[in-house]
């Protein structure tokens, strides 16, 4: 193998390694830091919003309604939590209205 060919292969390999490192780094940065996690309560389901492994919102009851009623299903809690995450990602207040609960088909 000639010296020029070895040099060319070395440069090609180095560029491949740099490209791999940049790809991995960009994937880590795109990882969402806000997560919606559901949990079982005594009377149903609730959710937590977690930011960088720290709970910032814990909702054991359905928001926007009177009383202390938990979500009747994990799916309802998850849909509501995902709406809250979406609002926070869009720099909106995490307030949930009755109209939004209705559009999410949350039973209360």
User: Residue 4: its pLDDT value, please?
Assistant: 78
* Rg of the chain in Å (alpha carbons): 23
User: Residue 68: its pLDDT value, please?
Assistant: 93
User: Residue 65: its pLDDT value, please?
Assistant: 94
Q: Where are the domains of the chain?
A: 1-31, 34-103
Rounded-to-integer distance, Cα 61 and Cα 59, Å: 6
User: Residue 12: its pLDDT value, please?
Assistant: 61
Among 53, 101, 56, 52, smallest CA distance to 79 is for 101
Q: What is the pTM of this model?
A: 0.71
Rounded-to-integer distance, Cα 80 and Cα 68, Å: 16
User: What is the mean pLDDT, run by run of 10 residues, along the chain of 108 residues?
Assistant: 69 58 60 90 97 95 95 98 96 96 96
């Amino acid at each position: 193998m000639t010296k020029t060919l070895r040099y060319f292969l070395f440069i090609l390999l180095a560029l491949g390694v740099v490209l791999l490192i940049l790809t991995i780094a960009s994937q880590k940065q795109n990882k969402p830091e806000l997560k919606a996690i559901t949990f079982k309560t005594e009377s149903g389901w609730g959710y937590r919003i977690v930011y960088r492994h720290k709970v910032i919102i814990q909702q054991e009851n359905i928001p926007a309604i009177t009383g202390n009623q938990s979500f009747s299903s994990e799916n309802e809690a998850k849909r509501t939590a995902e709406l809250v995450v979406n609002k926070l990602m869009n720099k909106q207040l995490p307030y949930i209205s009755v109209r939004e609960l209705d559009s999410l088909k949350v039973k209360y």
